Amino acid sequence: MMAAKRLFLINGPNLNMLGKREPGTYGNASLADVVKLVKDTAWEYGYEVEEFQSNHEGDLVDQLHKADMQAAGVIMNPAAYTHTSIALRDAVSAISLPVVEVHISNIHAREPFRHQSMLAPVSQGQIVGFGIDGYRLAALAIIKKIESEGRHEK
Ligand code: CA2
């Protein structure tokens, strides 16, 4: 099915706190800065972005289902649910869109419980450890993927 030139940007629990706490791990940028970065990047290629953040697992599942009907790809930082959520993994499996998983920090250089991602095996790919620049890299990567597969409307 042809999708509109639209990306969903989905951020999970506590990412609404970005820039307000823990700058040593997550930097000084706010969630609004992340949204602007992704929108500006997508705009360069004629894509629009629908943005969503929630602290609630089921709401994130709902948003993945909505993306399947309305978008051509998803950029997602599932935050702590990365490491725990079979529900989010099943949702990514259930939709037919490419999903790029982003982490601001290098999860592999942190506590062992952050080394495993439930979503990575069902995602298109994972970008970790580049701070919020990872969101721009994810937008570039997913747009290239969408364009190469001709998944979007003209
Ligand atoms: O590095 C990432 O992007 C993470 O997804 C961030 C999650 C963490 O649980 C993952 O292991 C890695 C935590 C997001 C919490 O964000 C905060 C931001 C500012 C202050 C406090 C929390």
d(C-alpha 44, C-alpha 109), whole Å: 33
The CATH number of 13-126+145-150, from 3.30.479.30, 3.30.70.870, 3.40.50.300, 3.40.50.9100, is 3.40.50.9100
Percent of the chain with pLDDT over 70: 98
CA nearest neighbour of 56 among 76, 78, 39 = 78
Q: What is the CA radius of gyration of the chain?
A: 14
Task: Give the binding-site residues of ligand 1, using a 6 Å CB cut-off.
Answer: 14-15, 17-18, 21-22, 26, 77, 79-80, 82, 103-105, 107, 114
Low-confidence ranges of the chain (pLDDT < 70): 1, 154
Residues 93-112 have pLDDT tens digits of 999 999 999 999 999 999 99
Q: What is the DSSP string of 105-131?
A: S-GGGS-GGGS--SSGGGSSEEEESST
The string of pLDDT tens digits covering residues 10-20 is 999 999 999 99
Is 26 a residue of the active site?
yes
State the closest ligand 1 atom to the C-alpha of 105, by its place in the atom list counted from 1. 1
Distance from Cα 88 to the centre of ligand 1, integer Å: 17
CA dist 78 and 9 (Å) reads 11
